[in-house]
Structure formats: C-alpha cells, structure tokens
C-alpha cells in the first residue's frame, strides 16, 4: 500500500471554522444480508484465496425478505486474498436495499468486503463527494453480512456498473479499462447488433489512436467525438483532489445513448489519500513535474498532462470540481459517512472482524481522528489548489 497523507496537514484556522461533528445520529444498521451455506461452501468461502468461486446458498434473506439467488460468486482482485470475501449476487427478484431516504430494488449487485479500505470509510467518502459533483450515480450502502448465523463484518452493497449503465441509462455497451488501456471486460445490451458492438469498440480504439496523430485543439476536438472530455477530465481532477493511488484501471466506460459518446463510471476508491500512485511512480514524477495531475499511467492521462491545450481545459475542470467541493459540502459528506458507519462500529460482533482485514486498528476513536485529519487536509489542499489556479494565465 502507498503511504497516506495523514499527519501532513496542521489544523488551519479556516479548517477549524468548519469543525466536524462526529456523533451518533440515532440511526441503526441499514442493511442486513443473511446467507445460509452448506459447511463445504462456507469453508471454501473462507479458505479459497486468489481465485473466484461460485457458491450455492441454502437460504438468502436481505432485510427480512427471502430471495432466490440465481448465482453467487466471489469477486474482486486483491481482496480475494482476504478471509472476508466480496460477493456478487444475481437474483431472480430484486433485493430491497436502503441508504438514508433512498431505497433500491436490485437483482444484480455486489457486496464489497472493504478489506483494504482504511477504517471502511474511503469508498463512502469518495462516492459522497463524487455525488456532489455529478460524477457518480450508482446506488451504494453499508451492510452487515451474516453467514450461517455469524457476522462477517462491515460490507458495502453497491449496484453493478454494467447493470446501472444498461438498465438505467439504456446504454448499448459498457467496458472496463485495464492497464495499458486494454479492455478487461465488455457487456452489451441484449438488443445490440454485433456490428454496433464493433462500432463502439472502434470508437474506443480511435481515442488512443488519435492521441499519437493529433495535438492541441485539433486533438481535443477529435477526442470529443468519441468521449465526453468534460466528464473524463472532471473524473481525472477528482482523482487528483483525493490523491487516488490506483485509478487508471479502476474505471468503466459506457456509451451515453443521448450523445453516442463514452462517459465514465468511477470504481474502487479504497486507496485514496495516498502520497503517490502505486504504479509508475518515478515515470509519473518525470512527466508530471508540478502539474496538478496525480498519475499518468494511462496514455490518455499522460497526453492531458503534456499537451498545453488539453491541460488548460483540464485545469478548468479541476477548478469547477474544487468549487463544488466547498468546506461545507465536505463537512456534510464526512459527518454523514461517520453517522452511517457508527452503528456497525458499536456492535462488537461486527467490528471484531477487523482482525481479518488490512487495518486491524479500526475502532471508533481511530475513525474519528482519521476523519478529522483527512477533512482538514482536504480543506487545506483545496484552498491551495484554488490559489494556484487563480494565479494561472
């Protein structure tokens, strides 16, 4: 894991003006998922590491409703190494999940183990901030998973990106970008013809072909034919703001049927507030210099950092995102995140599962101290970024 920026920021007067109120809101656990497995499946779930397996539930109950799962499988990459496994669900009928005043009925969703998410708050903070900037719209909520009557700890139930894109946005195609802009996964609407799939995959390839063919405003215009550059640059800006240590392969691209262009679905924010990116640290430092971009692992991000016209457009997007993430907005995200987590922390049976995760010192006091430190750091760095942006030509 990359180092974090915890402790790098002193408490400023301005940050203290928006001091956090981290308290019990009186709400309880929002979602409980009960699984009953055979002894063999339960053992396999716990001891199988590094590879995905399918399990069959003798019974599945979500928030009191008995459901019939078509498929349950372990999911993830690095988190498959942990005892607590993330699960993907495919159900015959929708599971009703709750988040604040929202409810959602989902037939396909994932339950993430958050094993590498410090104090279980990173993803929640990032999703909340991105909601405020219009970058994120998937349903998500903390949940307790219980298997064979025992608590497996704190999880996050989240809508699958491909399900969201196709079901809610009527997207014909969604793909996941991997390292070296390799396509890791493709999902299409059942109604889309093979020729249409090929056309959209050609769109994706065209983005990267054009990077080597054009520059400046001409390149920006060429890219904008295939991808919503404002959307992409705001996502890139957010990753800089929160110092996301791993994001080049943590993003989905989906076709917006209204514009016939790719837009992004951000994914996996357990590694935010890092000192440096996980991959290509030295190379990124050489390319970026003092540029306000965190990583140039991906060729498109590298071009945005090095092309003056693209970088100027990116800085405009960075400024727009920063202005939406006011100290008051950040305060609200941090306080609500704590209020949602607290009911799980105060249950000993739930929180004792930290022993199986990366950060074994998770407790209420450490969570509070961490949130305060990170909040102060964000407010301080936000102010400095805006000052830098105001001074540009």
Q: Which of 302, 323, 344 is the last residue of a domain?
A: 323
Residues 266 and 175 in one domain: yes
Residues 287 and 341 in one domain: no
Is 5 within the bounds of a domain?
no
Calpha distance 67→182 (Å, rounded)? 37
pLDDT at position 19 is 85
Q: Which of 323, 344, 371 is the last residue of a domain?
A: 323
Which of 286, 250, 25, 265 has its CA nearest to residue 163?
265
Which of 135, 322, 315 has its CA nearest to residue 235?
135
Residues 77 and 218 in one domain: no
Is 228 within the bounds of a domain?
yes
Is 13 within the bounds of a domain?
no
Residues 184 and 318 in one domain: yes
Residue by residue, pLDDT tens for the chain (393 residues) are: 445 555 444 444 344 445 899 999 989 999 999 999 999 999 999 898 888 999 999 999 999 999 999 899 999 888 889 999 999 999 999 999 999 999 999 999 999 999 999 999 999 999 999 999 999 999 999 999 999 999 999 999 999 999 999 999 999 999 999 999 999 999 999 999 999 999 999 999 999 999 999 999 999 999 999 999 999 999 999 999 999 998 888 999 999 999 999 999 999 999 999 988 876 667 677 778 889 999 898 999 999 999 999 999 999 999 999 999 999 999 999 999 999 999 999 999 999 999 999 999 999 999 999 999 999 999 999 999 999 998 775
Number of domains in the chain: 2
Q: What residues have CB less than 8 Å from 297, skipping those under 6 apart? A: 179, 248, 277, 279, 280, 284
Q: Are 337 and 331 in contact (CB under 8 A)?
A: no
Q: What residues are paired with 73 via a beta bridge?
A: 54, 88
The pTM score is 0.93
Residues 184 and 313 in one domain: yes
Q: Are 162 and 138 in contact (CB under 8 A)?
A: no
Q: Which of 303, 323, 343 is the last residue of a domain?
A: 323
Is 18 within the bounds of a domain?
no
Residues 150 and 178 in one domain: no
Q: Which domain holds residue 275?
A: 170-323
Is 131 within the bounds of a domain?
yes
pLDDT at position 342 is 97
Calpha distance 241→135 (Å, rounded)? 14
Q: Locate the DSSP E strands across the chain.
A: 32-37, 54-55, 57-62, 65-67, 69-75, 86-99, 102-112, 140-147, 150-159, 173-177, 183-188, 251-256, 261-266
Is 16 within the bounds of a domain?
no
Q: What residues have CB less than 8 Å from 294, skipping those under 6 apart? A: 239, 240, 243, 244, 247, 277, 284
Residues 308 and 330 in one domain: no
Is 6 within the bounds of a domain?
no
Is 12 within the bounds of a domain?
no
Residues 362 and 319 in one domain: no
Q: Are 17 and 380 in contact (CB under 8 A)?
A: no
Residues 300 and 222 in one domain: yes
Task: Report helix, strand or coil for 61.
Answer: strand
Residues 273 and 333 in one domain: no
Q: What residues have CB less than 8 Å from 300, skipping those under 6 apart? A: 181, 207, 208, 211, 232
Residues 150 and 38 in one domain: yes
Calpha distance 114→111 (Å, rounded)? 9
Calpha distance 310→293 (Å, rounded)? 12
pLDDT at position 286 is 75
Residues 361 and 220 in one domain: no
pLDDT at position 155 is 98
């Amino acid at each position: 894991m990359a180092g974090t920026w915890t402790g790098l920021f002193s408490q400023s007067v301005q940050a203290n003006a928006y001091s956090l109120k981290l308290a019990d809101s009186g709400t309880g656990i929002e979602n409980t998922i009960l699984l009953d497995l055979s002894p063999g499946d339960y053992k396999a779930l716990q001891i199988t590491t590094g590879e995905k397996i399918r399990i069959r539930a003798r019974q599945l109950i979500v928030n009191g409703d008995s459901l019939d799962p078509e498929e349950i499988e372990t999911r993830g990459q690095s988190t498959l190494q942990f005892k607590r496994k993330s699960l993907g669900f495919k159900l015959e009928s929708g599971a009703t999940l709750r988040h604040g005043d929202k409810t959602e009925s989902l037939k396909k969703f994932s339950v993430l183990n958050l094993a590498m998410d410090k104090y279980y708050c990173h993803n929640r903070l990032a999703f909340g901030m991105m909601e405020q900037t219009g970058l994120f719209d998937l349903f998500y909520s903390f949940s307790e998973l219980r298997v064979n009557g025992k608590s497996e700890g704190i999880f996050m139930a989240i809508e699958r990106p491909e399900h969201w894109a196709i079901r809610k946005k009527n997207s014909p195609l969604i793909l996941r970008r991997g390292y070296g802009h390799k396509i890791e996964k493709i999902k299409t609407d059942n109604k889309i013809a093979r020729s249409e799939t090929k056309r959209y995959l050609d769109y994706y390839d065209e983005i990267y072909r054009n990077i080597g063919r054009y520059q400046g405003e001409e390149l920006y215009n060429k890219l904008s034919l295939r991808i919503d550059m404002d959307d992409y640059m705001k996502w890139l800006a957010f990753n800089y703001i929160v110092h996301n240590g791993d994001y080049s392969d943590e993003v989905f691209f989906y076709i917006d049927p209204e514009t016939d262009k790719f837009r992004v679905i951000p994914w996996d924010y357990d590694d935010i507030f890092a000192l440096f990116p996980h991959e290509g640290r030295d190379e990124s430092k050489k390319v970026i210099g003092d540029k306000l971009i965190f990583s140039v692992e991906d060729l498109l991000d590298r071009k945005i950092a090095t092309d003056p016209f693209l970088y100027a457009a990116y800085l405009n997007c960075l400024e727009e995102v920063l202005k939406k993430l006011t100290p008051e907005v950040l305060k609200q995200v941090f306080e609500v995140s704590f209020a949602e987590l607290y009911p799980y922390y105060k249950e000993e049976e739930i929180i004792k599962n930290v022993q199986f995760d990366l950060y074994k010192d998770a407790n209420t006091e450490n969570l509070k101290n961490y949130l305060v430190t990170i909040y102060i750091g964000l407010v301080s760095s936000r102010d400095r970024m805006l000052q830098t942006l105001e001074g540009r030509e």
